[in-house]
Homo-oligomer: A and B are copies of this chain.
Amino acid sequence: MAEGILIVLSGPSGVGKGTVGKVLAAEKEDMFFSISMTTRPPRVGEEDGSSYFFVGEEQFIRKIEENSFLEWARVYGHYYGTPRDKVLNSLKSGVDVLLEIDTQGAKMIKNNFPQGVFVFLVPTSLKELKHRITGRGTESPEKVQERFTAASLEIIEAKEYDYLVVNDFPERAAQEILHIIRAEQLKVKRNNNIIEILRGDGCIQCP
């Protein structure tokens, strides 16, 4: 059986990775949607195990020591990490995995797992991005400005990714990513078994 594909969805802070990820997870139920762990406090409306697993700093550090993360990072004073086992086990059993992750984490994944498919989400404009960051209403004007400056710089990192998707509407962006996933599944390198089956006089999708 072919391994699953690791799809890494990243992009600047505030671009809407979480929303697009959720639409995608709903559209493609045979995919495992990896939930990150974090020490940052939940925002209004965020439930444990939906956006993130929320844990204390002591617990997070213990997990780092146990090597339980595929990647982890400290961003704006909080820890974020991707639990390793569920991701690797899903891939091994042929299940595609979606990882929605900040650019710092994506960079670490790319180092450790270059065979992943790296998708960079961009806003329609920086103005729109600022609007989105401000609109959250959860942070001080200084934090908003800090986050926006960082986000503008993060856009340059797109060049390290495989695919670029404009997030004008989350539903449309999710559709684009579905095209990407299907195309990646059709890559010859992931289907050498089909060539072998045909050459061995076997049959693909037989009735």
Contact = CB atoms under 8 A, between A and B. Distances in A.
Interface of A: 120, 122-128, 152, 155-156, 158-159, 161-166, 168, 176, 179-180, 182-184, 186-188, 191-192, 194-195, 198-199, 201-206
A186 to B, nearest CB: 5
A159 B192 contact: yes
Across the A-B interface, the 5 shortest Cβ-Cβ residue pairs = A183-B183, A125-B203, A179-B182, A164-B191, A180-B183
Contact of A198 (B122, B182, B187): B122
A186 B118 CA distance: 12
B188 A127 contact: no
Contact of A179 (B123, B183, B191): B183
A173 to B, nearest CB: 10
A162 B198 CA distance: 18
A176 B181 CA distance: 11
